[in-house]
């Protein structure tokens, strides 16, 4: 079940929201949300509900053992980590390993054909963070299975994040309020995310898919078409994923939960390091807290810092999927970030002046776009072929025809809006508008969001099914 589907918008979310309002006790509300979350997951993959609940149970029992006064806490933690990572590896990387073994040794080991459980990377990381936090502090855990189940399974962030740490919402599970203002703010945030997904991400994604799935494999060599596909995918993945995060945060507000921001206008970054401070913040902070710092962070010299960073970005890449394209994407980000740290790429000096920041943003967006070509491509060879074509300067009349057929007036309008609002423009608009409290202004804002919501429903009614990109991770 996806947030942009009719069954979620017209049945699941309204039903859960209304039932939540009628349930009087905090225990009843938590139980309702936990059960609704299991139904939400079962709607997508009923056969993997036992696996999901088993993962929650493993972390619950591990937490209980770590909270008790029994010894061998390191062994308990290690066992929990092995079980969590083991489940993730079996379901996500078994066929990837077989494929590489077959290629390396010319063997013919049959593939397992294991179907990837939806959201396994996200709920595994939430379970891991809980167990590690309890190991670090016995008081940070819970003996209430329902609370842990709700924390890991809560449907807004279950499938594609943001990754939430237990200590960030533990108090909210026990004590939370949901005022009309919270509900209104949550609805507006949800509609913002819905518009990002349906009106922008789907539109530019159509162009990106045509280039990557049809024209690139078909042998088209027009550099303009390749750049169009690369730019459209770069915009698609931002609006798709940030839209999902907006919807998750908005739904959380509707039920009294506050999740941390997952995106802060990353396409306005002036360096790769700045980009990762603003892109998928919950994942980057997870790796920083549970891998980079334990490895030593930047405390053991420049060489060790670079090594630690490359390990983290390797894990970031492979976390996204079982393909060497993801590993190379992560390696590229790690290399550029390390070069910025070492001063080879003068990102700090560039950020000290207005002109330098413009150059920094251009360099960052160029690097991000090219690396997203690798991320999106089916293989490394296909990615390098497309990048080569982007700088080849080759063009053709057929390529011109294809570009014109894809760049319809509606597509151009969406592209213009997508480019304008992907950077720092929204921040400037918020500063210009400021906090206005007049009744007329509030009515205007409400009518605007209502119009956007109706436009999303109209687009949804005539469009097809478009899953979120991060569902596959």
Q: Compute CA distances 161 → 118, 244, 288, 324, 435, whole Å.
A: 12, 8, 17, 23, 29
State yes or no: is 253 an active-site residue: no
Measured distance CA(382)–CA(402) in Å, rounded: 20
Catalytic one among 215, 253, 280, 320? Answer: 320
SS3 readout for 35-79:
HHHHHHHHHHHHHHHHHHHHHHHHHHHHHHHHHCCCCCHHHHHHH
Which residues, in sequence order, are CB contacts of 91 under 8 Å at separation 6+? Answer: 51, 114, 116, 117, 120
- For the chain, how big is the Rg over CA atoms in Å? 23
Cis geometry, peptide bond prior to residue 389 (ω within 30 degrees of 0): no
State the CB neighbour count (10 A cutoff) for residue 265.
17
For residue 128, give the nearest of 33, 188, 173, 63 by alpha carbon.
63
Tell whether the torsion through CA atoms of 28, 34, 35 and 40 is positive or negative.
Answer: positive
CA distance between the termini of the chain: 16
Contact 137, 73 (CB under 8 A): no
Phi/psi for 375 (5° steps) reads: -60, -40
Give the single-character DSSP code of 316: H
Decide: residue 165, CB within 10 A, 0-12 exposed, 13-18 middle, 19+ buried. buried
For residue 228, give the nearest of 212, 241, 217 by alpha carbon.
212
Q: Compute CA distances 106 → 102, 111, 378, whole Å.
A: 5, 14, 21
Contact 336, 345 (CB under 8 A): yes
The DSSP result for 193-236, as a single string, is: HHHIIIIIIHHHHHHHHIIIIIITTTT---HHHHHHHHHHHHHH
Q: Compute CA distances 274 → 68, 316, 333, whole Å.
A: 41, 16, 12
Q: Compute CA distances 442 → 182, 187, 192, 307, whole Å.
A: 14, 14, 16, 52
Give the single-character DSSP code of 351: T
Q: Compute CA distances 444 → 421, 425, 447, 451, whole Å.
A: 21, 21, 5, 11
Residues designated as active site:
320
């Amino acid at each position: 079940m996806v947030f942009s589907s009719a069954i979620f918008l017209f049945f699941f979310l309204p039903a859960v929201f209304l039932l939540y309002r009628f349930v009087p006790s905090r225990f009843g509300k938590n139980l309702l949300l936990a059960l609704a979350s299991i139904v939400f997951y079962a709607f997508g993959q009923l056969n993997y509900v036992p696996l999901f609940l088993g993962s929650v149970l493993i972390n619950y029992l591990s937490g209980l053992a770590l909270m008790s006064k029994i010894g061998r806490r390191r062994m308990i933690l290690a066992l929990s980590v092995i079980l969590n990572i083991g489940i993730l590896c079996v379901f996500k990387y078994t066929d990837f390993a077989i494929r590489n073994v077959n290629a390396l040794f010319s063997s013919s080991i049959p593939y397992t054909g294991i179907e990837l459980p939806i959201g396994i990377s996200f709920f595994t990381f939430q379970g891991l963070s809980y167990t590690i936090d309890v190991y670090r502090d016995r008081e940070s855990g819970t003996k209430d299975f329902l609370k842990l189940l709700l924390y890991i399974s809560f449907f807004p962030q279950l499938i594609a994040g943001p990754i939430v740490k237990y200590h960030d919402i533990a108090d909210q599970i026990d004590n939370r309020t949901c005022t009309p203002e919270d509900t209104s703010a949550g609805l507006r945030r949800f509609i913002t995310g819905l518009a990002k997904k349906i009106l922008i991400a789907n539109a530019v994604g159509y162009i990106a898919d045509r280039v990557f799935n049809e024209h690139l494999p078909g042998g088209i060599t027009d550099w303009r078409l390749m750049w169009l596909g690369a730019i459209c995918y770069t915009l698609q993945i931002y609006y798709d994923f940030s839209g999902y995060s907006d919807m998750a945060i908005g739904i959380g507000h509707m039920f009294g939960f506050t999740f941390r921001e997952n995106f802060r206008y990353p396409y306005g970054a002036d360096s790769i390091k700045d980009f990762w401070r603003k892109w998928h913040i919950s994942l980057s902070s997870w790796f920083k807290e549970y891998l980079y710092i334990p490895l030593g962070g930047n405390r053991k010299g420049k060489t060790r810092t670079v090594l630690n960073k490359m390990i983290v970005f390797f894990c970031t890449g492979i976390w996204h999927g079982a393909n060497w394209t993801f590993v190379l994407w992560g390696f590229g980000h790690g290399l550029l970030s390390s070069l910025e740290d070492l001063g080879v790429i003068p990102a700090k000096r560039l950020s000290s002046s207005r002109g330098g920041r413009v150059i920094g943003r251009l360099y960052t967006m160029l690097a991000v776009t090219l690396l997203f070509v690798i991320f999106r491509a089916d293989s490394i060879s296909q990615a390098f072929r497309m990048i080569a074509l982007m700088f080849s300067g080759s063009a053709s009349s057929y390529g011109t025809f294809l570009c014109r057929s894809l760049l319809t007036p509606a597509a151009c309008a969406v592209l213009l809006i997508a480019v304008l609002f992907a950077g720092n423009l929204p921040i400037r608009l918020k500063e210009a508008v400021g906090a206005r409290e007049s009744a007329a202004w509030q009515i205007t804002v409400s009518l605007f969001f209502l119009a956007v919501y109706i436009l999303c429903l109209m687009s949804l009614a005539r469009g097809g099914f478009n899953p979120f990109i991060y569902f596959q991770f």
